[in-house]
Amino acid sequence: MSSKYKSGFVAIIGRPNVGKSTFMNNVIGQKIAIMSDKAQTTRNKIQGVLTEKDAQLIFIDTPGIHKPKHRLGDFMVKIAEDTLNEVDAVLFMINAEEGYGRGDQYIIDRLQQTNRPVFLIINKIDLIHPDELFALIKSYKDKYDFKEIVPISALQGNNVQHMLNVLKEYIPEGPQYYPEDQITDHPERFIIGELIREKALQLTREEVPHSVAVAIENIEKRESDTVFIQATIITERKTQKGILIGKQGSMLKNIGKYARKDIESLLGSKVYLELWVKVQKDWRNKQSQLRELGFRTDEY
């Protein structure tokens, strides 16, 4: 490997629902971050690893920065803000359709504290007329000294490779941190839980808010290469439990059916998935339960 090989850690930051997870999955080429049109879907840092012949980029998809309403929210915002000082570059992603908003100013104020190169990534350009783009670029240009401004469509893949090439110019020379076939540093157990949570959010729509978590109780490989998984969907209220189970168990059955497809694709083997639903009142404000569910909250 030549000494010109580059490697670095890149934070993806932005308001909730600007397409950070879609971007991550597109770049990595496999689903490792869950997607939902509900805000604040990402709760932990997700490291996606992109290895190319001349560079390795490790992407950290942070939770959307927002005004926290509970301890889980505090934790999510703290993760996103801490990440800014641990990386080699920052991608500040915005939604082209929404344009500049108060939440962006909150993030820009925090970006003033970092000495890392910051790139403005204007996502979802497929949803606006090209003429609108110039005004959008100008409105952000006046507010922060971005290294580069790159318009993309993460969903369609437009201009994503160009954006990666631009980014590589600013990444330092360094070693290959991960083997080239590794695409994330998260254990499979974590991603399986996230895939189940994604289906619960997508299928229940507005009825079940972000008071849903998933605990993986057991994963074991059985004969004939089938992976047996038992998981519990945790929610805060009995009414939500009813919605998640559905009439004669129909909703839970659907969550299991769609999650199983994604898990089989992740593991490359047949999966038997058993789901339960459990009520844990106010779990988002309880430190012990947050820790049990994998949120590292030592600083609270």
CATH number of the domain within which 113 lies? 3.40.50.300
DSSP string, 3-39: TT-EEEEEEEE-STTSSHHHHHHHHHTS--S---SSS
Question: Which residues form the domain of 285?
Answer: 188-292
43: confidence class by pLDDT, cuts 50, 70, 90: very low
Same domain membership, residue 205 and residue 152: no
Residue 65 has pLDDT above 80, yes or no: no
pLDDT in tens, 91-137: 999 999 988 887 888 889 888 888 899 999 999 999 999 899 999 99
The predicted pLDDT at position 292 comes to: 57
Q: Which residue has the tokens 């850690």?
A: 9
State the Cα–Cα distance between residues 64 and 61, nearest whole angstrom: 9
Q: Which residue has the tokens 């430190």?
A: 287
In a domain, 30, yes or no: yes
State the Cα–Cα distance between residues 99 and 103, nearest whole angstrom: 11
Same domain membership, residue 206 and residue 119: no
Same domain membership, residue 163 and residue 20: yes
State the Cα–Cα distance between residues 15 and 66, nearest whole angstrom: 7
CATH number of the domain encompassing residue 275: 3.30.300.20
The predicted pLDDT at position 111 comes to: 87
In a domain, 143, yes or no: yes
* Total domains, the chain: 2
Same domain membership, residue 82 and residue 215: no
Out of 120, 144, 170, a domain closes at 170
pTM of the predicted protein model: 0.61
Same domain membership, residue 154 and residue 33: yes
Same domain membership, residue 119 and residue 57: yes
Same domain membership, residue 64 and residue 33: yes
In a domain, 102, yes or no: yes
Same domain membership, residue 249 and residue 287: yes
In a domain, 162, yes or no: yes
Out of 113, 142, 170, a domain closes at 170
Same domain membership, residue 119 and residue 90: yes
pLDDT in tens, 252-280: 999 999 999 988 887 778 899 999 998 88
In a domain, 274, yes or no: yes
Same domain membership, residue 268 and residue 126: no
Same domain membership, residue 21 and residue 140: yes
Same domain membership, residue 253 and residue 224: yes
pLDDT in tens, 209-227: 567 888 888 888 776 778 8
In a domain, 84, yes or no: yes
